[in-house]
Chains A and B, each alone.
Chain A
Amino acid sequence: MTRSDVQLMLDVKAGDDSSFNLLLQKYRTPLVNFLYRMVRDTATAEDLAQEVFLRVYRARKQYSPSAKFTTWLFRIATNLALNSVRDNRHRQMEVSLDATPVDEDVAPLQLPTREMRIDEHMVERDRADFIRGVISALPEKQRVAVLLHKYEEMDYGEIARILDCSESALKSLLFRAYETLRVQLAPLVSPPARHAGKEAHHEM
């Protein structure tokens, strides 16, 4: 019989390290992917994922099954990822104070010549990388909401608990996030003939 995540964690609490290995096997790939989509760097994502598992292991003696295990796991991951993104952004600001701002992930979404920049992206990067870039340009909370909703397929209640907001607020947040993505990814989403007219109408 397959043990639930909560039962596995309770077994870890009781001293069974093999149960921790089962949780590691089950969640390392989703966690690394979530973190990679947040920080867009494989090595950083893996380091953060290890830190998440380490924190879970360290907190095993205090674990109480008050919520789903994944809520706890991804809440830790979200906090670590957001801290990492903020630290990295802060470092980049310090380094590039005298440099020309050429952040390719953010600048194309803010410049009026966005169509040209998107075309450049399509040439320079593959389609998937472009999509990742657009997702990572979302505001922090919207980005986390989309990743947990679309890729982790979490229910609204669980995402709301991770983001510490109401379900109603989450639905509005998700709608705004998907609307932004729909506009920014219009070249991939809409038939080519319909792009120009729609962007002005749906600009957020």
Chain B
Amino acid sequence: MKCEDVSKELIPYLDRRANSADRHEVEEHLAACSACHARAEELRRLWSVLDEVPIVEPSLGFDARMRARIAEEPQPRWFRWFVPQPRLALSIALLLAVSVWMSRLPQDNSGLAGSAQSEHEQFQVIKNLDVLENYDVLSKFDALDEVPAEQPAQPDKQNDQQQQDDGG
């Protein structure tokens, strides 16, 4: 081990935290190198000098001041625990608002059958849309004139009469 290599392991050697292999290498080098040996001895004395610095005790009011500052701290509330972040709180609030709004929308109570019938009627309208939009066809459609006036009271008889007229 060279002098440069000892420098990194000298402190762990002196504070007795070096592993046995490193300790052995440092001891071998110190035995052979008088300069590093002298340096190690001075570092030992340095540590004794550093120990001369007295310990400073905190003032008598330290604990009281600390307790007062702790007492001033806002206590945790249940909803803060429940909602730890403002963004999360806003998201939850928006979700709830949308859910309430959706639940209050008017609902179609006719059921699936009614819904299917409505879809069928819409499909028929769409299928005949070209015809309905063609004004020439509609203006020459004389058959419309033969449509009788609305007689909701006797629909069956009207149908029978129409069939007889067609057959005659």
Question: Which listed segment binds A: B3-11, B26-34, B122-130, B140-148?
Answer: B3-11
* B7-39 CB contacts (< 8 Å) to partner A: 7-12, 15, 17, 39
Question: Which listed segment binds A: B59-67, B85-93, B99-107?
Answer: B59-67
Write 19 A-B pairs (CB below 8 A) sorted by A numbering.
A25-B63, A28-B63, A29-B55, A32-B56, A33-B56, A46-B59, A50-B65, A54-B70, A54-B73, A128-B52, A131-B49, A131-B52, A135-B53, A149-B15, A150-B47, A150-B50, A156-B17, A171-B12, A189-B49
Are the C-beta atoms of B76 and A45 separated by less than 8 Å?
no
Q: A29-B58, A185-B46, A189-B46 are in contact. Are A24 and B7 (CB under 8 A)?
A: no
Question: Which listed segment binds B: A72-80, A90-98, A174-182?
Answer: A174-182
Contacts of A46 in B (CB 8 A): 58-59, 62
Q: Which single member of B10, B17, B73 contacts A175 (CB below 8 Å)? A: B10
* A138-180 CB contacts (< 8 Å) to partner B: 149-151, 155-156, 168, 171-172, 174-175, 178
* A1-41 CB contacts (< 8 Å) to partner B: 17, 20, 24-25, 28-29, 32-33, 36-37
Contacts of A28 in B (CB 8 A): 58, 62-63, 66
Contacts of A190 in B (CB 8 A): 42, 45
Are the C-beta atoms of A132 and B66 separated by less than 8 Å?
no
Contacts of A127 in B (CB 8 A): 52
Asked if A61 is at the interface (CB within 8 A of a chain B CB), the reply is yes
Q: Give B75 Cβ to nearest chain A Cβ, in Å.
A: 10
* A interface, over-half SS: helix
Asked if B155 is at the interface (CB within 8 A of a chain A CB), the reply is no
In addition to A132-B53, A175-B7, 15 A-B residue pairs with Cβ atoms within 8 Å of each other are A17-B70, A32-B57, A32-B62, A49-B62, A57-B73, A127-B52, A131-B49, A135-B53, A149-B15, A151-B50, A151-B53, A171-B9, A175-B11, A181-B50, A185-B46
Q: Which residue of B is nearest A28, CB measured?
A: B58
- Measured in the bound complex, the distance between the Cα atoms of B54 and A152 in whole Å is 14
Residue among B10, B53, B55, B62 with the highest chain A CB neighbour number at 10 A: B53
Q: A29-B57, A156-B17, A175-B10 are in contact. Are A53 and B46 (CB under 8 A)?
A: no
Asked if A188 is at the interface (CB within 8 A of a chain B CB), the reply is yes
Are the C-beta atoms of A168 and B8 separated by less than 8 Å?
yes
Asked if A114 is at the interface (CB within 8 A of a chain B CB), the reply is no
Are the C-beta atoms of B9 and A42 separated by less than 8 Å?
no
Asked if B2 is at the interface (CB within 8 A of a chain A CB), the reply is no
Contacts of A89 in B (CB 8 A): none
Are the C-beta atoms of A61 and B76 separated by less than 8 Å?
yes
- Measured in the bound complex, the distance between the Cα atoms of B78 and A76 in whole Å is 28
- Measured in the bound complex, the distance between the Cα atoms of B99 and A201 in whole Å is 81
Contacts of B8 in A (CB 8 A): 168, 171-172, 175
Contacts of B65 in A (CB 8 A): 50
Contacts of A58 in B (CB 8 A): 73
Q: Which residue of A is nearest B12, CB measured?
A: A171
Contacts of A32 in B (CB 8 A): 56-58, 62
Contacts of A53 in B (CB 8 A): 66
Asked if B96 is at the interface (CB within 8 A of a chain A CB), the reply is no
Asked if B43 is at the interface (CB within 8 A of a chain A CB), the reply is yes
Q: A54-B70, A58-B73, A175-B10 are in contact. Are A182 and B42 (CB under 8 A)?
A: yes
Contacts of B10 in A (CB 8 A): 175
